[in-house]
Amino acid sequence: MLNQWSHMSLSPILAQWVEAADTAGLTRQQQLYTLLKGAILDGRLAAGYRLPSSRQLAVDYRIARNTALHAYQQLLAEGFLVADRGGTRVAGLMPVQPQPAVDCDAARHPRLSQRAGRLQLRQGEAVLPFAPGLADLNAFPWGSWARQLQRAWGEVSARQLAYAAPGGEPMLRQALADYLRGRRGVLCSPEQVFIVPGAQLALDACARLLADPDDTVWLEEPCYPAARTAMTAAGLRIVPVPVDAEGMAPAEGLWQQRPPRLLYLTPAHQYPLGAVLSLERRLEFLRRIGDGWIIEDDYDSDFNHSHPNRPLPVLQGLNPEAPVIYVGTFSKLLYPGLRVAYMVVPHWAVRTFGEAVESLYRAGQAVEQRALARFLEGGILTRHARRMAPIYQARQLCLRDSLLQAFGRVGRICGGAAGLHLSLLLPEVRDDRAIVRRAAELGVTARPLSEYYAVAEAAANGLVLGYGMADVARIPELVARLAAATGDDARLDALHKAGRQ
């Protein structure tokens, strides 16, 4: 059936084709193209090898003439074949290395960078009770949000679809400045507000635009792991500074020995232990920061359980001239997937910092930003916050109460004056990572406190527990499961009590 054109090299290749008739939904032409390209790339069809004419190929393999013709044309266009008076030949290419079928020998592949190796990997985050950092997503006011989005889409023009204005949509910057002034005591004009896609990018921008590799950054110990990641990725030297009941507590000598270029703080509600940074320390940090910068991460202060109608004012508001970058997010009030966070920068840094941020991240999502602006202006967000505050407050008290009952003899509760999480300190003999693994098997998510520490030897054992998604009716039973996971003899008591409720 094959005539003299069919060379030794070609027939085993095309035989493969005939055998593998159904190749993942490709057309006959694509199949022929792929087969020939593969054979050229791995050297089975050598440079200079002359192919039969498309007409001949069609006859030999009983395929449509067009199939052969188009496959040849594509290979010619891409440079795999060359055509001359002598016919169609394989181009003079160096073959690539033969492709191993499945290669599990990682050592043969290039590695990631060393800095990638130093990053703290994020653990999978389940949307389950006690996963820290999540608001009650079921309570989100969909109806209003969907209406605002619809309205914003209705107004859309080419400008809103292109990259957003530098710093974000002016409407949102204005609405945020008003909101932050009124609700958080941030002293700023709209020009000082920069919208960024997520708080982690805000921290990343601060780490890279305000500090150079080997510069010193003070982090709270324990600390928000994503802040540590941003600082590590930027090549900064991390100084872990212990926290006490009044927040970050640097030893007196530290200011001289290792003056911070960056000072990262969670003043409203230390993450994860929950201390409120005292006014004395706020003023001291402002006074001593010198030519460094303070990053004030106000990650979850929307809910203040101690003073529901009077949230603690921010450090930034104590001196709007100070080198403070205030960072906030809508993840807790709205939903994390929205990915809208913001920075407030000192008025004297608006131009320089703004230009640098713009060159690192292109702003988008103008439509969503407009919807959000209306959400703020219309007071919908404030009403939502006001509605949720007593719900979270009740969850916090219930969780506290259940933890006291189940762990009162061994554990100590930290934090809870604001935000959406508590921490439970456990005796050193307990391995919190093992407890968390066992709790996961029992369907409860918690985070080991020791994971939040930079220095493993200094790490306290415990559990960081978010109550944003935890219904009051379920909390006692969930805490009982946690107690079971700790393997304490408190376990039976706790289970017993939960059973009665």
Identify residues 196-255 at the interface with its own copies (CB under 8 A): 197-198, 200-201, 204, 208-213, 215, 226, 229, 233, 235
Bridge partners of residue 85, in order along the sequence: none
Amino acid identity for residue 206 in this structure: C
Binding window for its own copies (CB under 8 A); candidates: 1-9, 104-112, 265-273, 456-464: 104-112
Name which position in 17, 49, 140, 255 contacts its own copies (CB under 8 A).
140
- The least CB distance from residue 301 to its own copies, in Å, is 13
Q: Which is nearer to its own copies, 164 or 406 (CB)?
A: 164
Exposed e or buried b for every residue in 260-274, given b needs 16+ CB within 10 A? bbbbbbbbbbbbbbb
* Token representation of residue 186: 């941030």
Q: Is 278 near its own copies (CB under 8 A)?
A: yes
256: helix, coil or strand? helix
R_g of the chain computed on alpha carbons: 31
Is residue 361 within 8 Å of 343, Cβ to Cβ?
Answer: no
- The least CB distance from residue 199 to its own copies, in Å, is 9
Q: Is 353 near its own copies (CB under 8 A)?
A: yes
Q: Which is nearer to its own copies, 85 or 111 (CB)?
A: 111
How many CA atoms does the CB half-sphere of 478 hold within 13 Å? 25
Bridge partners of residue 414, in order along the sequence: 423
- The least CB distance from residue 80 to its own copies, in Å, is 7
Binding window for its own copies (CB under 8 A); candidates: 46-54, 157-165, 427-435, 454-462: 157-165
Q: Which is nearer to its own copies, 8 or 112 (CB)?
A: 112
**Distance of alpha carbon 220 from its chain centroid, rounded?**
20
Count of chain residues binding its own copies (CB under 8 A): 108
List of E strands, 205-358: 216-221, 237-244, 247-248, 262-265, 293-297, 324-329, 341-344
**Region 107-126 residues binding its own copies, contact defined as CB under 8 A:** 109-116, 119-122, 124-125
Q: Which is nearer to its own copies, 110 or 253 (CB)?
A: 110
Q: Which is nearer to its own copies, 158 or 456 (CB)?
A: 158
Name which position in 249, 279, 472, 495 contacts its own copies (CB under 8 A).
279
Q: Which is nearer to its own copies, 66 or 120 (CB)?
A: 120
Is residue 263 within 8 Å of 285, Cβ to Cβ?
Answer: yes
Q: Which is nearer to its own copies, 263 or 403 (CB)?
A: 263
72 phi, psi to nearest 5 deg: -60, -45
**Cα–Cα dist 498/475, whole Å:** 9
Dihedral angle over CA of 407, 411, 412, 414, nearest 10: -90
Name which position in 15, 64, 161, 245 contacts its own copies (CB under 8 A).
161
- The least CB distance from residue 76 to its own copies, in Å, is 11
Select from 249, 218, 248 the least CA-distant residue to 231.
Answer: 218
184 backbone φψ class: left, alpha, beta (φ>0; ψ -120 to 50) = alpha
Q: Which is nearer to its own copies, 192 or 486 (CB)?
A: 192
Is residue 458 within 8 Å of 449, Cβ to Cβ?
Answer: no
- The least CB distance from residue 399 to its own copies, in Å, is 19
Q: Report which secondary-structure segment, H or E, holds 285.
A: helix 279-288
- The least CB distance from residue 172 to its own copies, in Å, is 13
Binding window for its own copies (CB under 8 A); candidates: 74-82, 427-435, 440-448, 487-495: 74-82
* C-alpha distances in Å from residue 456, one per residue of 66, 190, 465: 68, 42, 20
**Region 27-46 residues binding its own copies, contact defined as CB under 8 A:** 41
- The least CB distance from residue 383 to its own copies, in Å, is 19
Binding window for its own copies (CB under 8 A); candidates: 56-64, 277-285, 408-416, 439-447: 277-285
Q: Which is nearer to its own copies, 198 or 411 (CB)?
A: 198
Q: Is 332 near its own copies (CB under 8 A)?
A: no
Binding window for its own copies (CB under 8 A); candidates: 307-315, 401-409, 410-418, 420-428: 307-315
253 CB contacts (<8 Å, ≥6 apart)?
none
- The least CB distance from residue 500 to its own copies, in Å, is 30
- The least CB distance from residue 2 to its own copies, in Å, is 29
**Region 359-398 residues binding its own copies, contact defined as CB under 8 A:** 359-362, 364-367
Name which position in 134, 327, 372, 444 contacts its own copies (CB under 8 A).
134
77 phi, psi to nearest 5 deg: -60, -35
Q: Which is nearer to its own copies, 300 or 488 (CB)?
A: 300
CB atoms within 10 A of CB 374: 19
* C-alpha distances in Å from residue 136, one per residue of 233, 248, 264, 438: 31, 29, 27, 25
- The least CB distance from residue 326 to its own copies, in Å, is 15
